[in-house]
Structure 1
Amino acid sequence: MISDRALYMGGPHSTKAAWGMFCHDVALWALMGHGALMMEDRATGQCFGQVGINHGPLFPEKELGWLVYPQAEGKGYAYEAAVALRDWAFTVRGLKTLVSYIAPPNMRSIRLAERLGAVPDATAPRQEGDMDDLVFRHPAP
C-alpha cells in the first residue's frame, strides 16, 4: 500500500495508514459477517492479491473491491474471485446492493466491473475524500 500502485486507493499510504486498512479488513468479518479474502495459487501458495466486501464508516454502501499484484494482472484471477464473492454476498449473506468505487483513470478496474455486469451509477453516494470516483452497481445474480 506504500507503492505507486496504491494511487487508485488514495495512496501511497504510510505504514500506519496501511495497518489501519488491514485492521479494518480483519474487523469486518467479526462485525459485519463479510470482509476481504486473499487470492492465491493453490499449487504454490503465491498470493495474487485480494478481493473483498468493504463497508463500515469508510464506505457509504457495501463495496465489492479488489486489488491485484502485478504478476497476476490480466489472468482472470480477480474476475473469478469477484464473481464468487459477489454471488456469495447476494445469495448467502442476503445483501441487497453492492457497488464498486473506482478511480476514473483505473481502466483495468473499470473493465473488470463491466465484465462483472456492473453498470455506472452517477447518483450513488461517494466515499468521503474520493468524490471523483466512479460508482459501478452490481446486479444480483
Structure 2
Amino acid sequence: MTVPTLTTARLVLRTMRIADWPGYAALMGSERAEYMGGPFGVAAAWGMFCSDHAQWEFYGSGALMIEDRASGRTLGQVAINRGPLFPEPELGWMVWPDAEGRGIAFEAARAMLDWAQGQAGLDSLVSYVDPGNARSITLALRLGAVRDATAARPDPADLVFCHRVRARA
C-alpha cells in the first residue's frame, strides 16, 4: 500500500517517520492526552505510534503527520483509524500545543475527510470525542458531522459524531 501525501494551502499530510516519535511521545505522555485515555507511558505510546502506521498496510488508511509547508515543522497528526479498537472507521486528529488555535486541525481533518470520500469500501466515518473535549466537539461540528447518541463507541462515555461519506467504487 502506498501511503498518500495530501497537501493544503498551509500543510503537507505525509507518512510517519521515526523522527516524528519524540513529538508524538511527548504529547501522548502529557495531560493533553487525557481526552484519549492518557497520559500514556512510553510502551503504550509506542504501540499506538506503530499501530497508526501499520493500519495503512492492513486497511488502506491510517495516520498522516501534519507538517507546515513553509517551515517543514511537524504540527500533529490526522488519521482514519480502523481495527478491533474502533467499531467504525474513525477520523481523528491531534495537534502539538503550539499548533492549537490556528485552524491546523480543521485544515488537516478536512483534507483527510476529502481524501476518504474517494475510498472504495468506506461507507461510514465517525469521530469519537471525549465529552470534556470542547475543542474537538466544535471541530467535529465545524466539519459537518452530526452527533449520534445510539452509535457504538470504544468508550461508553465517548460522544460519536458521524461524518458524511460518499464512497466511490
How high is the TM-score relative to the length of structure 2? Answer: 0.79
1:100 and 2:147 aligned? no
Taking the TM superposition and a 5 Å limit, the aligned residue runs for 1:75-90 are 75-90=102-117
The list of structure 1 runs, each at least 4 consecutive aligned residues, that deviate by more than 4 angstroms after superposition, is none
SS at match of 1:5: helix
Counterpart in 1 of 2:164?
Answer: 139
What letter is aligned with 2:109? A
Q: State the number of aligned residues.
A: 139
- Per the TM alignment, residue 94 of structure 1 is displaced from its structure 2 partner at its CA by 4.5
Distance in 1 separating the partners of 2:95 and 2:65: 10
Root-mean-square deviation (CA), in Å? Answer: 1.1
What CA distance in whole angstroms lies between the structure 2 residues aligned with 1:126 and 1:41? 32
Matched letter for residue 83 of structure 2: G
Q: Residues 127 and 140 of structure 2 are in contact (CA less than 8 Å); yes or no, is this contact kept in structure 1? A: yes
Paired position in structure 2 for 1:26:
53
**What is the one-letter code of the residue matched to 1:84?**
A
Match of 1:121 in 2: 148
Please state whether the residue corresponding to 1:40 is helix, strand or coil.
strand
Deviates more, 1:84-93 or 1:118-127: 84-93
In structure 1, stretches of 5+ residues that fail to align are: none
Q: Could you tell me how far apart the structure 2 residues matched to 1:93 and 1:7 are?
A: 34
Between 115-124 and 86-95, the greater mean CA deviation after superposition: 86-95
Q: Which amino acid aligns with 1:136?
A: F
Mean CA deviation greater in 38-47 or 2-11: 38-47
The CA deviation at 1:92 is 3.4
Please give the alpha-carbon distance, in whole angstroms, between the structure 1 residues aligned to 2:120 and 2:33.
Answer: 29
Give the drift of 1:53.
Answer: 0.3
Aligned partner of residue 67 in structure 1, secondary structure? strand
The TM-score, its normalising length taken from structure 1, stands at 0.95
Structure 2 residues not aligned, in runs of 5+ = 1-27
Aligned to 1:65: 92
Secondary structure of the corresponding residue to residue 79 of structure 2:
strand
